[in-house]
Structure 1
Amino acid sequence: MPEVSNSADAALWEREEILELAERSAGIGVWDIDMATGMLRGRPQLFHLLGLQPTSGPVPIDTLRALRHPEDRDRVADGFQHVLDSGNDFYEVEYRIIRPDQQVRWIFRRGRIVRDARGKAIRYSGVDIDVTERMAAEAALTESEQRYRALVDNASDIVTTMDLDMRITSANPAVQRILGYEPSEIIGTPISRLIPADQLAMQNSMLERKLAGEEATRYETDLLRKDGQRCTVEVNSKLVLDPLGQPIGVHSIARDITERRNAEARQALLVRELQHRTKNMLAVVQSIVMNTLTRGNSVEGAREAILGRLQAIARAQEFVAAGKSGGAPLRELVEGQLATFAARAKIDGPPVYAGAPFAQMFALVIHELATNAAKYGSLSKPHGHVVITWEVRSGPSEPQLAFSWVERNGPPVAAPTHQGFGSRLISAALPGTPHITFDSQGFEYTVDVPLSDVTRASKDLVTPNGAAQGPI
């Protein structure tokens, strides 16, 4: 502390010291302008704030004006002139300056115009306050709010806020895509409008858990669309707190998982279907192997028979796998089994789509018919041929598929004295009672099958030995 001459000077110095400390702490620069001369006197802190060397003498006002950002100069000058012309005494403005060290700072200026008796401005006094940090914080907040709003407005999930009475206070555009409501239609309404009655208790329970101290709750619930249909959503919600930490509402994000739930249900159905089909396929294979091996065939003969029958099933399965809903066109099943004899087989019939159960057994029957024809029937002779036809006819209670296999130009045929597995399979594998004729002109096989059994996607499968194997 410098020496002072008396107590009055000491008190004055102390007041100046305190004032300067206050100005520095608050970032305030005090100034006074003589309107007649255009000269400004300022406290030291004013010059520190502007990046200038402090001086106790007056400086031209243009020295300070030169620091103003070029984009703000006209706005500040025009605003001050308007105050002068309107007769007002106070002027407030925010603008940027570029200090000599090239720092850009924001200044808030508040000044008062002193007028003489005739209303002429003679002095202009006030303060400059550095508000750079505040402006930066406001800009960051504005940018953050804009980013948040952009995220919310473009989010695929429903984003809402509610008060503690569970009335919707805001909703983003996703509510229209998912529920069919415009946001304005549901803002101000209770959330219970969108929740099925049987799930309201859970909604209230989630709020109670948050109010009891749980930071956030995550759960699944159904929502009601505008058309009355339900959709399933996964909800994440937490409380909205005021500056004192008291709850004032709920912030909620709801993701539509309806398609996911439907996909999971479809997947579970497919798994069950695969399990059924695998079980029944193994039953068919077991039946083929056991019946082929127990009929006194040689090992080589049994091997050829088993391989042929399994290949027939495999070809049918290829058509089933490639077809819609696990089935296959009847024509493709026939052509697949008769590929070797395509030039000697006439195939004719309307489009009929066979379900997987019928397709598998039908392929086995066609394979056995083709094998017998190649060994003993019309396809064993160079000029022999087979005619395969089918049509859909009216039946006593439902439409029937009438299937026919007719062999011509083959050797004389006669009914076998011993019925092997192949014969039993031809006779019993398909629904309906077949008619088998060993005519002098050739072998004939016809059968009428209820069309519903042909096209059904899942049914009880009866293996060639007559054992029911459960639903496919």
Structure 2
Amino acid sequence: MQESDGPAPTSFPRPPNLLDGSRTSLRQILWALVFALTLPAVLIATAGFRSGYRAERETSDRRLQETARALSLSLDREIEKNEMVLRVLALSPAIAQGDFAAFHRQAREVGLASQSRIALIDMDGRVLLNTRTTYGAPLPDNWRESVLRKMQETHKAQLSDLHADPITGQALITIDLPVVIDAKVAYILSAAIGPEIFQRIIADQRVDRDWNAAVLDRSGRIVARSRSPAEFIGQLANPNIRDASAMSPEGNVQSVTLDGISVRAYFSKSPAYGWTFVVSVPVTELAASFQRSLFWLFILVGCILLGVLLAAILSRLIAKPVDRLVAAAQALGTGREVTGTTTRVLEFDTIQKALADAASDIRAQERHREEALARIAESEARLRLALHACHLGSWEYTPSTGAFEASSQCRAHFGQGPDGPFCYDDLIAGIHPEDRARQAEAVAQALDIRSGLEVEFRVVQPDHGERWIRISGRVRSGTDGDLSLVGVSQDITEQRLADERQGLLLHELNHRVKNTLATVQSVATMTRRAAEQGDEGAWDAFMGRVQGLAKTHDLLTATQWQGASLEDVLRSELDPYQDAMRQRIRLRGPRVNLQPGAVLALGLAIHELATNATKYGSLTLPEGRVSVMWAVALSLSPPVLIVEWVESGGPPVTPPRRQGFGTRLIQRGLAQQLGGEIKLDFQPEGIRCVITFPVKAVLAEPAPAEDSAERYAS
């Protein structure tokens, strides 16, 4: 019996062969990628290191120039400190009274450098005293007749260049200050300072031992030097540096030091006294930065070449695993159609064919699960973000079982760590004993009538501090019928404190407003009297004083009425008259914080002086100047704050025939309220006003120590 052949086997169409055609292999792409990255990397590295070297050089030049500029300013501050000491001493009553023995003691106690000395000279050149010797010891006459004549003509302080003492031969710098009594120069205060203080400035900078730092006086002579100072102090600096500093206040120049080292010298001339600070760096050290950049460039090129070699090895290692992956992917995707276009890469096209077919079913199965999990995760994330943003802690309490769960934020509210045990009894134990009954009553009422829970109580922290916590919750019925409370906790301590502070601030505001109205009433009363006496500008003056008072109030408001610095009070009143270069009005003095009452009184006084200067004094002319200096004199008994107002460059001044309203206002505000003493001197070249306050009546904090009292404002 012959069997039939049966139905013919079904033939499936063969999928298109993606391996046909000419394409690029994976090895070729790897090599192309290596070279595509290598060549730009070399070019970019070369350009980058070149740019880095230039940037490093520019940064080094700028840093060294800024260092020279900062140190030149420190020269001015050091000289100004000694000049201010002389100015404070010039105000000593002992000079005017002729009590030179007392003044000799004061001068020895001012605290200048150990190598410095102070001398008092009369206008005939006789040295009356010198702090280097005991009072009464015979002293030689002063030999600087030209300086004495110049001081008598200019009434200004003079700073000498470095010179040798004719008696001891010691290198010295001299600061001379006229002592003016009854508008005449009666004496000369002279401070002889050794180069040691400038040598100390250099030593404090800890200059590299291969560098050289030097201080030059106006003639270009070396006053202090970091390298071999004993050998070179007193010699003239290199002509290159002297010529460059004469042409420009700051810059750098190629030069050679006096000990024969080729350097680039960075110099800056001090703006006040014209002395120059020089920082010299060896040329070999500057060239080292280029060598470092070139060294790292060679290192980078070597790394790139090494990377090329490693890429050749890795390309062979990558190809074999890819071949095995292709075989596995073909087995997984047998009989399925390939979707997508060719990548023109042999191995990648094969992997795409196998994995695309195998992943289609897996993606379909996982899609719904991932979407459900994503919705749940998104909902939980929103809840966590909301609780975190509001600083809320979550909790749940089931009374029937005693189960209690709390988030880490809720645990923190009760002073507990995030991982330690924390039950409902621990929560109750943390509540302040006086508030536990109120909390228990609120929980019982919420469970009884199934209402919301709202209660606030104090929590005692582990460090025995107290925090206010607000608990909010709702009653929830579980699947087993048990009731539970679910809610949040919130720390409201800051809110409670804010409410208390608001009450205190309202009370303080009422007090401050009453004081301000009393001041305005006093100014208005005095202004009305001036108007009744025929003063046509009384109303404008009154408005100016009110505006000045408003500026002072702004300063006090910025510090919550804790006072303000003396410099801020002066700038608030005088900045409208300042020029663009900030040279018309000059402020110098230490940092001093004033009490609120002193701020108001002094603000009105400065406003009156500034108004008078703009109407009749130095500020009426473009070349007019105003200088305000202050100092805390702790050596006097009692300690006082001295503020000096000096006008110059204005029209000639003539003493007034009668006391004006502004003068009365200053005396009432300062003398009566603060116990200050005011001295007005109507010199022809400009008004000079010296105001002396008791420290305890005006300062908002203890007076600064002697060393900090000599730090001046800009």
Band of TM-score, shorter chain: 0.5 to 0.7
Secondary structure at 1:331 match in 2: helix
By how many angstroms is 1:215 displaced? 1.3
Question: 1:348 maps to what in 2?
Answer: 588
- Provide the rounded CA distance (Å) in 1 between the counterparts of 2:597 and 2:453: 48
In the alignment, structure 1 residue 445 sits paired with structure 2 residue 690: yes
Q: Please tell me the residue identity of whatever aligns with 2:525.
A: M
1:455 corresponds to which residue? 700
* Counterpart among 614, 629, 632 of residue 389 in structure 1: 629
- Asked if the contact 1:288–1:306 (Cα under 8 Å) also holds between the matched residues in 2, the reply is yes
Q: In structure 2, what is the equivalent of residue 300 of structure 1?
A: 536
Equivalent in the alignment of 2:452: 216
Aligned to 2:518: 283
**Structure 1 residues 153, 297: CA separation in 2 closer, same or farther (over 3 Å shift)?**
closer
Distance 1:367 1:175, change over 3 A: same
CA displacement, residues 45-92 of structure 1 (integer Å, 9 cap, x when unaligned): xxxxxxxxxxxxxxxxxxxxxxxxxxxxxxxxxxxxxxxxxxxxxxxx
Q: Does 1:360 align with 2:600?
A: yes
**1:375 to 1:172, Cα distance in 2 relative to 1, 3 A:** closer
- Percent identity among equivalent residues? 26
Who is 1:253 aligned against? Answer: 488
Q: Which residue of 2 aligns with 1:335?
A: 571
SS state of the match for residue 515, structure 2? helix
| Aligned residue number for residue 436 of structure 1 | 679
2:416–2:422 CA contact under 8 A, matched in 1? no
TM superposition shift of 1:256: 1.9
Residue segments in structure 1 that go unaligned for 5+ positions in a row: 1-139, 457-472
Question: Any idea what the Cα deviations from partners look like across 1:78-121, whole Å, max 9, x if unmatched?
Answer: xxxxxxxxxxxxxxxxxxxxxxxxxxxxxxxxxxxxxxxxxxxx
SS of the counterpart of 2:417?
coil
Indicate if the aligned counterparts of 1:160 and 1:253 stay in contact, CA closer than 8 A. Answer: yes
**1:438 and 1:331, CA in 2 relative to 1: closer, same or farther beyond 3 A?**
same
Residue 375 of structure 1 and its aligned partner are, at CA, apart by 4.8
Q: CA deviation at 1:319?
A: 4.2
Q: 2:436 aligns with which of 200, 218, 221?
A: 200
**Structure 2 counterpart SS, 1:300:** coil
State the Cα RMSD in Å: 4.4
Find the residue that maps to 2:421 and give its secondary structure: helix
- Counterpart check, 1:313 vs 2:558: no
Instruction: For 1:124-135, list aligned pairs within 5 A.
Output: none
| Structure with bigger gyration radius | 1
Question: Judging changes above 3 Å, is the alpha-carbon distance between structure 1 residues 381 and 149 closer, same or farther for their aligned structure 2 residues?
Answer: closer
Q: State the Cα deviation string for residues 403-453 of structure 1 (Å, max 9, x = none).
A: 222446774554764463x22321132323223244656443312143674
* CA–CA distance in structure 2, aligned partners of residues 242 and 402 of structure 1: 80
Alignment of 1:56-71 (within 5 A): none
- What amino acid is the match of 2:627? V
**Displacement, 1:371?**
2.8
| Contact 2:475–2:486, Cα closer than 8 Å, also in 1 | yes
- In structure 2, runs of 5+ residues without a counterpart are 1-371, 702-714
How far apart, CA to CA, are the structure 1 residues paired with 2:640 and 2:437?
A: 55
Alpha-carbon distance in 1 for matches of 2:425, 2:646? 75
Alignment of 1:408-423 (within 5 A): 411=652, 414=655, 417-418=658-659, 420=661, 422-423=662-663
Aligned 8 A contact 1:238 1:251 in 2: yes
Distance 2:399 2:638 in 1: 62
Conserved in 2, the CA contact under 8 Å of 1:158 and 1:253? yes
Three-state SS of the structure 2 residue aligned to 1:192 is helix
Give the number of aligned pairs: 318
Q: Which whole-Å CA distance do the structure 2 matches of 1:166 and 1:192 have between them? A: 16
Report the 3-state secondary structure (helix = DSSP H, G, I; strand = E; otherwise coil) of the residue aligned with 1:403.
strand
Counterpart in the other structure of 1:171: 406
- Tell me by how many angstroms 1:365 deviates: 0.7
Give the C-alpha shift of residue 238 in structure 1. 3.9
CA distance in structure 2 between the aligned counterparts of 1:426 and 1:288, rounded to whole angstroms: 11
Q: CA deviation at 1:282?
A: 3.2
Distance 2:405 2:634 in 1: 63
The answer for the alignment partner of 2:202 in structure 1 is: none
Given that residues 432 and 450 in structure 1 are in contact (C-alpha distance below 8 angstroms), is that contact kept between their aligned partners in structure 2?
Answer: no
Q: Distance in 2 between matches of 1:226 and 1:250?
A: 26
TM-score, reference length from structure 1: 0.55
Corresponding residue of 1:403? 643
CA distance in 1, matches of 2:377, 2:624: 85
Cα shift readout 1:119-151 (whole Å, capped 9, x = no counterpart): xxxxxxxxxxxxxxxxxxxxx9xx989957983
Counterpart residue number, 1:110 = none
Instruction: Give the secondary-structure state (helix, strand or coil) at the position aligned to 1:186.
Output: coil
SS in 1 for 2:590: coil
1: CA distance between counterparts of 2:439 and 2:667? Answer: 63
| C-alpha distance in structure 1 between counterparts of 2:425 and 2:377, whole Å | 25
State TM-score, norm by structure 2: 0.38
Check whether the contact 2:410–2:489 (CA below 8 A) recurs between aligned residues: no
Q: Distance in 2 between matches of 1:384 and 1:373?
A: 9
Are the equivalent residues in 2 in contact too, given 1:175–1:182 (CA < 8 A)?
A: no
Q: Is the 8 A contact 1:175 1:181 kept in 2?
A: no
Q: Distance in 2 between matches of 1:282 and 1:426?
A: 18
Tell me the SS of whatever aligns to 1:351.
coil
Give how far 1:181 is off.
1.9
SS at match of 2:675: coil
Equivalent position of 1:151 in the other structure:
383
Contact 2:675–2:697 at 8 Å: present in 1 too? no
Query: How far apart, in 1, do the equivalents of 2:625 and 2:385 lie?
Result: 72
**CA separation in 2, counterparts of 1:167 and 1:386?**
80
1:319/1:328 contact within 8 Å kept = yes
- 2: CA distance, partners of 1:397 / 1:241: 81
**Structure ranking higher in helix proportion:** 2
Structure 2 Cα separation of the partners of residues 308 and 149 of structure 1: 60
1:4-45 deviations in whole A, cap 9, x for unaligned? xxxxxxxxxxxxxxxxxxxxxxxxxxxxxxxxxxxxxxxxxx
Are the counterparts in 1 of residues 400 and 482 from structure 2 also a CA contact under 8 Å? no
Q: What's the secondary structure of 2:536's corresponding residue? A: helix
Q: What does residue 30 of structure 1 align with? A: none
